[in-house]
Amino acid sequence: MMRKRDPRAPRWIWLVLIVVSLVVGTGAGLYVGLKNAPDPGGKEVASGSELADQEVEHKLAEARQAVAEGNWIGARLLFMEVQDVDPDNPVVLASLPLIDRRLDEARGSIEVVTDPPGAEVELEGIGKKRSPYTFTGVPYGSHLLKVSKDGFEPVTQTIAVRSEDLIVVPSIDLTASSGQIEVVSEPRGAEFKLLKLVENEQQELVEVGQTPAIIGKLDPGDYRVLMEVDGWPEYAETVRVQNDRNTAVSAVFAMGGFNVVSDPIGAEVWVQSGGEPMKRSGVAPLSLTDLPVGPLKLELRYKDWPPIRRTVEVTDGDSRNLDFAWERSLVTFRSDPAGAEVWLNDARLGNGREVAPFKVELPEGEYVFLARHSELGSKGVSHIVEAAQGSDEVFFQFDYGSIKLSSEPVGAAVISSGIPIGRTPLTLPAVKPGVYTYEFRKDQHRGTVVSGVLEPGGTLDFNARLTYDPAPVTSRDFTNRVGQKMIWVGELGGWVASHETTQAQFEQISGENPSYFPSPNHPVDSVTWYQAVKYCEALTHEEQIRGRIPKGYRYRLPTDVEWGKYVGGQKLDGAISSLFERKKSTAPVGSLAPNEHGLYDVRGNVWEWVEDWYSPTIVNRVTREGATPSPDWVGTERKVLRGGAWNRSSQFDLSVANRMAARPGAEDRYDVGFRVVLMKD
């Protein structure tokens, strides 16, 4: 795992191969472009197409530069962007397979140096070594680096390998672990001095102050604590500070009774005299006075540790110091993977917030610890803590594996049990063993499903190759090949054109423009019902052969009922009409604000053909909706028109409930156009 794996082909060979593929692909692209180039005397190419071609050429130029610089990942992303726009681009088709093979073989190197040296450095999935060390043969991607050394705080960081160049990690300066001393007295306010003892028995002053106090960040070693209160002899105690340990020094300056101190400081003192129930007297350090003569039961309680019990005999004038100390050990809790919570008797260890690895002082005894991992569940461990060892470790090993999810192209949504969990590339480092199924989805690509069994300690590596599919996805808007934005209307279960069909769009499909008011961005007018239907059929055919509409869907005119639903709450102040100001012609589509569905000009501009004949059913609908029908039109072979037009000025004509009618072959209606819908057959 640690040795550098020589690639199957030198880097310069790959560069030559890809450069050749670029030249060949570019030549093929030029040939196809010249072959399909329009006649100089013909019509101009649409500006949108020119912009798309310019964007493709710009991306290809960037990709070539990335290849020349050896930036394989950047080059691949650029080629994929080109493929999204131009799936059949010959340069992309020639280059991508070579780059993919190169990425599969590519490896990088990581140099890790620590201060001080000799720390354990672990590159997750690669191995463990002692610093300084250079990891070779590291696959492309993100890798977690863990650094640890006894007596120092652990360090973790993520390193991304994106090239074959040596990555030199800046020297990792390890911070030494430290201990602390807590100094308290009864009464409070005693003057104290903290001295460090060195090998020649000289004393180095560390800190002075008044109790209570906590002195932190102390180097390991022996220290001497001096406490003084006027009128009392000086109190002195020598203590040893260890890494990550809390050491307590307490003293009682009081007359008579018992002076109780505890280690750790802060233990509750409970007293029982005679046949009375046990009562809480205070917190150590504590002076107990006015005690009755006779036996006295003392109990010290600290957190959920086992209590310390002692019986003493009280005599007249008795004055004694009582020391209570729990024999304890510094216990380190670790878990694989890291991040587990540790519980003892329904109480969470580590100040209620830390996760493994962390350290806690515990008295000696037999324990049952429970580790809980957010992804892997719970695991119990029985352990005996022995104070004589000074330090101890409890380790929780969970059964787990890892899952890597990638796709071509990248950026696919990953779905598990109907819930999105991220986008590719995605790594799940800690997963329970079992059967897993994932769905990959990406716009304009066919989704796929992968499944596999994850064994304990194993890895599942799913790489989904998604097939480009330009067909729109239901429930999402899209733009069709004539530049018409299609709006998904959930109530209809299909798409409705955002605006009426323009003259430019009609001419692009039908090859003619029958409009009385010629202007490319105005709605096509003077169009017959038959011409509108023929346009829908031709557009459906062209979109189907290119795979740009879902299977089973086709463009057509809306039905009367469908029109009545997607008109929504559009008001007349958002309609192109002569109601408020006399108009002389149609207006560009989308001149005013859309309705709640995002549809423009659903009222006004031009009447819109629908599929229905003017029939008794239409008469009944008009009556039911509060407008005045025209029964004389029934049986006269007239098709229904909806929405009003630019030249209408009466509330009756412009009413949503009103239906106009005209013969499907009428050619002289310069106020009539149409809007398409895309619905299931």
Q: Is the pLDDT of residue 20 over 70?
A: no
Tell whether pTM > 0.75: no
pLDDT of 139 strictly over 90: no
List 215's β-bridge partners, or say none.
181
Per-chain mean pLDDT for the chain: 86
Position 28 scores a pLDDT of: 44
Question: Which of the given ranges, 211-220, 453-462, 553-562, 574-583, has the highest pLDDT on average?
Answer: 553-562
Average pLDDT over residues 118-123: 90
Q: Which of 47-61, 155-169, 198-212, 441-455 has the lowest mean pLDDT?
A: 47-61
> How do residues 52-111 score in pLDDT, each as one tens digit?
678 888 888 888 888 877 777 788 888 888 888 788 888 888 888 877 777 777 788 999
pLDDT of residue 44: 45
Contact in structure between 362 and 385 (CB atoms under 8 Å): yes
| pLDDT score of 342 more than 90 | yes
Query: For position 200, what pLDDT does the model report?
Result: 62
pLDDT of 74 reads 80
Q: What is the CA radius of gyration of the chain?
A: 41
Long-range contacts of 474-481 (CB under 8 A, 24+ apart): 474/550, 476/443, 477/598, 480/539, 480/543, 480/548, 480/549, 481/542, 481/543, 481/546, 481/548
Instruction: Give the model's pLDDT for residue 30.
Output: 38
Burial 462-488 (b: 16+ CB within 10 A, else e): bebebeebbbbbeeeebebebebbbbb
Cα-Cα end-to-end distance for the chain: 58
Lowest mean pLDDT segment, chosen from 317-326, 419-428, 491-500, 565-574:
317-326
Confidence of residue 240 (pLDDT cuts 50, 70, 90): confident
Segment 432-453, tens digit of pLDDT: 999 999 999 887 788 899 999 9
Where are the chain's structural domains? Answer: 11-105, 107-173, 330-394, 401-465, 478-680
Cβ atoms 592, 577 nearer than 8 A: no
Does residue 376 contact residue 388 with C-beta atoms inside 8 Å?
Answer: no
Total residues found in the chain within this entry: 681
Q: Do residues 265 and 285 make contact, with C-beta atoms less than 8 angstroms apart?
A: yes
Q: Which of 82-96, 376-390, 512-526 has the lowest mean pLDDT?
A: 82-96
C-beta contacts of 522-525 below 8 A and 24+ residues apart: 522/585, 522/586, 522/587, 522/588, 522/589, 523/499, 523/586, 523/589, 523/601, 523/605, 523/606, 523/673, 524/500, 524/673, 524/674, 525/586, 525/606, 525/669, 525/670, 525/671, 525/672, 525/673
What is d(CA 586, CA 570) in angstroms, rounded to the nearest whole number? 19
Give the pLDDT score at 99: 78
Q: What is the mean pLDDT of residues 173-189?
A: 87
Query: Which range in 161-165, 253-257, 306-310, 641-645 is most confidently predicted, on average pLDDT?
Result: 641-645
**pLDDT higher at 456 or 26:** 456
pLDDT band, residue 10 (cuts 50/70/90): low
Alpha-carbon distances, residue 119 vs 114, 220, 392, 513 (angstroms): 7, 19, 20, 79
- What pLDDT score was predicted for residue 546? 85
Residue 618 has a pLDDT of: 95
The CATH architecture assigned to 478-680 reads: Alpha-Beta Complex (3.90)
Rounded Cα–Cα distance for residues 409 and 414 (Å) = 13
Contact 251, 185 (CB under 8 A): yes
Share of the chain above pLDDT 90, in %: 50
pLDDT in tens, 560-615: 999 999 999 999 988 999 998 999 999 999 999 999 999 999 999 999 999 999 99
CATH T-level assignment (fold) for domain 107-173: Immunoglobulin-like (2.60.40)
Q: Are 107-173 and 478-680 equal in CATH topology?
A: no
Question: According to the model, what pLDDT value does residue 1 have?
Answer: 28
Say how far apart CA 535 and CA 538 lie, in whole Å.
5
| pLDDT greater than 90 at residue 226 | yes
CATH class assigned to 330-394: mainly beta
Question: Could you tell me the two tokens for 556?
Answer: 């057509």
Q: Residue 508 above 90 pLDDT? A: yes
Dihedral sign of CA atoms 227, 228, 229, 233 in order? positive
CATH of domain 401-465: 2.60.40.10
Dist. CA 673–CA 143, nearest whole Å: 61
Q: Is the pLDDT of residue 455 over 60?
A: yes
